[in-house]
């Protein structure tokens, strides 16, 4: 069994900036880990067929888990689709995340769908983690800094 989560946000910035937050290693390390975790991006080659790899570390326990995948579709400012698998054999299967970005009058409408989430991960925990991550994404991407 696997689970799916679907999220929707409107961000006060252009789609290109949101896209850049998904394809820049330092940006991913800043916004993707949910509260209580840090991230290290070990590899990122944001081209179709390219691979990415990162790990999250729990600040309380120091325990880390690593994961990675490959890019299936990339359309700058519009679409990202990538796979992810955990290195932990207790978290089997391959997840797929699709992010669509659409310009709207006030910024970007973003939709995220993640499928194939291992059944041992409660879907509510995925929603909570994504909500925390998307809050951090907004804090990173929305400011207009022209220096």
pLDDT in tens, 115-128: 999 999 999 999 99
Contact between residue 91 and residue 69 where contact means Cβ atoms under 8 Å apart: no
Q: Where are the domains of the chain?
A: 2-141
The CATH code of domain 2-141 reads 3.30.530.20
Whether 84 shows a pLDDT value over 90: the answer reads yes
- Tell me the pLDDT tens digit for each residue of 18-56: 999 999 999 999 999 999 999 999 999 999 999 999 999
Percent of the chain surpassing pLDDT 90:
94
CA 24, chain centre distance (Å): 11
DSSP states of 94-137 as a string? Answer: -EEEEEEEEEETTEEEEEEEEEEEETTS-HHHHHHHHHHHHHHH
Pairing status of strand 64-75 against strand 2-11: unpaired
Q: In terms of pTM, does the model score above 0.85?
A: yes
């Amino acid at each position: 069994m696997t689970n799916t989560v679907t999220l929707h946000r409107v961000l006060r910035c252009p789609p290109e900036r949101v896209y850049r937050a998904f394809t820049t290693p330092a940006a991913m390390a800043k916004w993707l880990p949910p509260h209580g975790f840090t991230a290290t991006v070990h590899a990122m080659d944001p081209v179709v067929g390219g691979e990415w790899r990162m790990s999250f570390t729990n600040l309380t326990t120091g325990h880390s888990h690593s994961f990675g995948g490959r890019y299936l579709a990339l359309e700058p400012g519009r679409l990202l689709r990538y796979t992810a698998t955990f290195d932990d054999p207790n978290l089997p299967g391959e997840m797929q995340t699709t992010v669509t970005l659409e310009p709207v009058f006030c910024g970007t409408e973003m939709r995220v769908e993640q499928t194939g989430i291992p059944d041992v991960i409660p879907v509510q925990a995925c929603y909570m983690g994504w909500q925390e991550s998307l809050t951090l994404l907004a804090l990173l991407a929305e400011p207009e800094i022209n220096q």
